């Protein structure tokens, strides 16, 4: 085994073979293993996934891989923050056990030709505004799961549609891993934590606060008896006041199958938003109880 060992950092596996060697040792000791897939630039949202992982397993692997196949050519693949050393220290401080940070060619060697197409649950939301996105997520997540074969994998509700897509794919492909969702984590000012928040100026960040305020307002108005469409319409004022006048989506959807809800909310639902703020495309979502 050739794990990368740096002072203050965790052991890092860079190849599938090294990852599997370590997993094999843990399996021989009868230990349960969790995987937390990430693209790095880790923050408190990712740390909450590690905390959740520790509840389900003895050993926690955090993968760090900025996955090129989920970025369109005009998106921020090159600019995406890469902070592996501090990421590794953070994971160590929070009780993780191994970083898995494969290279691009380890994940996608010459001749790589496979794609995964998930229908239904990928309709709408990010599936519409980033048409390449879920294909890229599906291929990288299925590879990571099959490479590590953990007992459990943890994903955040910050990417709520992605969590539902992964649950669907894992069930459809009989991948023998339990998928667990973890709640969305916010900074003290209410902004959903995200690696892309690094792109925001102080002014952008102030503007970005309108997202969760608008979502929370939708939930309150629905609780007070408004239809989803009316609650959304009324909450646009909060976005407009922050000079946010366009968005990829600002919608209410069923919390489990993600079908669009316009009228009265009679089952658990969720309000979703995605919009560009400064250099960052921000997404957020908020639970809605039926009226």
Q: Active-site residues: which are they?
A: 46
CB 260 within 8 A of CB 123: no
Return the residues of window 88-127 that contact ligand AMP according to CB under 6 A: none
In the shown chain, the binding pattern of residues 138 to 157 toward ligand AMP, with x for contact by CB under 6 A and - for none, equals -----------------xx-
Question: Contact between 270 and ligand AMP (CB under 6 A)?
Answer: no
Q: Segment near ligand AMP (CB under 6 A), from 13-21, 27-35, 118-126, 179-187?
A: 179-187
Question: Contact between 184 and ligand AMP (CB under 6 A)?
Answer: yes
Parallel, antiparallel or unpaired: strands 269-277 and 12-13: unpaired
Q: Segment near ligand AMP (CB under 6 A), from 169-177, 181-189, 261-269, 279-287?
A: 181-189
Size of site (CB under 6 A) for ligand AMP: 17
Question: Contact between 158 and ligand AMP (CB under 6 A)?
Answer: yes
Cα angle vertex 214, ends 239, 77, to 5°? 75
Question: Contact between 159 and ligand AMP (CB under 6 A)?
Answer: yes
If we measure between CA atoms, which residue out of 283, 279, 88, 86 comes closest to residue 198?
279
* 49 vs 215, beta carbon nearer ligand AMP: 49
Which residues, in sequence order, are CB contacts of 10 under 8 Å at separation 6+? 88, 91, 92, 96, 97, 98, 99
The CB-of-120 to ligand AMP minimum distance in angstroms stands at: 20
d(CA 163, CA 176): 16
Q: How many residues does this entry show for the chain? A: 291
SS3 content of the chain, % helix, strand, coil (to 5): 40, 20, 40
* 163 vs 238, beta carbon nearer ligand AMP: 163
Rounded (10°) angle between helices 16-28 and 133-148:
50
Question: Contact between 80 and ligand AMP (CB under 6 A)?
Answer: no
Q: What does the binding site for ligand AMP look like in residue numbers (CB under 6 A)?
A: 38-39, 45-46, 48-49, 155-156, 158-159, 182, 184-185, 192-195
């Amino acid at each position: 085994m050739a794990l990368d060992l740096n002072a203050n950092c965790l052991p890092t596996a860079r190849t599938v073979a090294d990852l599997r060697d370590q997993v094999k040792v843990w399996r021989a000791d009868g230990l349960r293993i969790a995987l937390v897939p990430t693209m790095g630039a880790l923050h408190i949202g990712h740390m909450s996934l590690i905390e959740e992982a520790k509840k389900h397993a003895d050993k926690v692997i955090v993968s760090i891989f900025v996955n090129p196949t989920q970025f369109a050519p005009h998106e921020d693949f090159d600019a995406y923050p890469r902070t592996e050393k501090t990421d590794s220290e953070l994971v160590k401080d929070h009780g993780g056990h191994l970083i898995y940070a494969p290279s691009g060619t380890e994940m996608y060697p010459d001749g790589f030709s496979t794609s995964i197409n998930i229908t239904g649950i990928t309709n709408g939301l990010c599936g519409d505004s980033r048409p390449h996105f879920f294909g890229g997520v599906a291929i990288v997540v299925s590879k990571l799961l099959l490479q590590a074969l953990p007992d459990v994998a943890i994903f955040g509700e910050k990417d709520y549609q992605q969590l539902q897509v992964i649950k669907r794919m894992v069930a459809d492909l009989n991948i023998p891993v339990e998928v667990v969702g973890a709640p969305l984590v916010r900074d003290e000012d209410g902004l959903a934590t995200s690696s892309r928040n690094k792109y925001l100026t102080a002014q952008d960040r102030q503007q970005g606060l309108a997202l969760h305020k608008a979502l929370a307002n939708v939930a309150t108005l629905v609780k007070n008896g408004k239809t989803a469409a009316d609650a959304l319409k009324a909450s646009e004022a909060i976005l407009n006041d922050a000079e946010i006048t366009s968005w990829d989506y600002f919608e209410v959807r069923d919390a489990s199958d993600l079908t669009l809800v316009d009228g009265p909310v009679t089952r658990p639902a969720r309000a979703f938003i995605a919009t560009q703020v400064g250099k960052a495309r921000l997404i957020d979502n908020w639970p809605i109880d039926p009226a």
